[in-house]
Amino acid sequence: GLLEITLLTNNPDKIIAVEGKNRMVKVVSRVPMIPLAWQQNGAGIKSKEVEGYLRTKVEKMGHLLSRPSSDK
């Protein structure tokens, strides 16, 4: 099986869960999942609700994602 992986996530709790208590799998790197609305091309759904949802994930749940500089 795999011993080291790259994980696609913004959730620090997911990294801990994947590694497990005995750390039989090690997350050696993480690829952030950047919402389309926050990417340079500006695609994706943009609304107050979506922005609030994403902001909550970052601010209250500790997700590892930088908000766009115009939104800080």
Q: What is the pLDDT of residues 25-52, one digit of tens each?
A: 999 999 999 988 888 777 888 889 988 9
pLDDT tens for residues 50-61?
889 999 999 999
The mean per-residue pLDDT over the stretch 6-29 comes to: 95
pLDDT score for 20:
92
- Tell me which of 1 and 11 has the higher pLDDT: 11
- Does 23 or 64 have the greater pLDDT score? 64
Q: What does the DSSP assignment read for the chain? A: --SEEEEE-S-HHHHHHHHTTTTSSEEEEEE----GGGSTT--S---HHHHHHHHHHHHTT--S-PPPGGG-
Quick check: 71 pLDDT over 60? no
